[in-house]
């Protein structure tokens, strides 16, 4: 599955850890699409920009794929149950 580099725009919990705005993560396609759809993240092009300006790429925190990618832990999802 494809990996996407995203930048968090609003605090979210990823694998039980709070990620604050500005954090750059490498995520699998499904998780990245979910955060992008909910406007919690944007695609991050810092690595591409760094390559074009000969700067070192930004450090990226790798996030392993969760065991159940279908689980939605948002408060709205919990209230609907």
Asked if the model's pLDDT at residue 41 lies above 50, the reply is yes
pTM reported for the whole predicted model: 0.57
Q: Which residues pair with 7 in a beta bridge?
A: 24, 42
Q: Which residue has the higher pLDDT, 4 or 65?
A: 4
* Closest among 35, 25, 29 to 62, alpha carbons compared: 25
**24 pLDDT band (50/70/90 cuts)?**
very high
How many Cβ atoms sit within 10 Å of the Cβ of residue 47?
16
Question: Which pLDDT value is given to residue 76?
Answer: 59
């Amino acid at each position: 599955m494809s990996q996407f580099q995203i930048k968090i725009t609003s605090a979210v919990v990823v694998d039980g850890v709070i990620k604050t705005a500005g954090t750059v993560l490498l995520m699998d396609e499904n998780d990245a699409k979910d955060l992008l759809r909910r406007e919690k993240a944007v695609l991050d092009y810092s690595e591409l920009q760094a390559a074009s300006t000969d700067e070192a790429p930004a450090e990226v925190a790798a996030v392993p794929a969760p065991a159940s990618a279908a689980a939605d832990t948002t408060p709205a999802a919990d209230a609907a149950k």
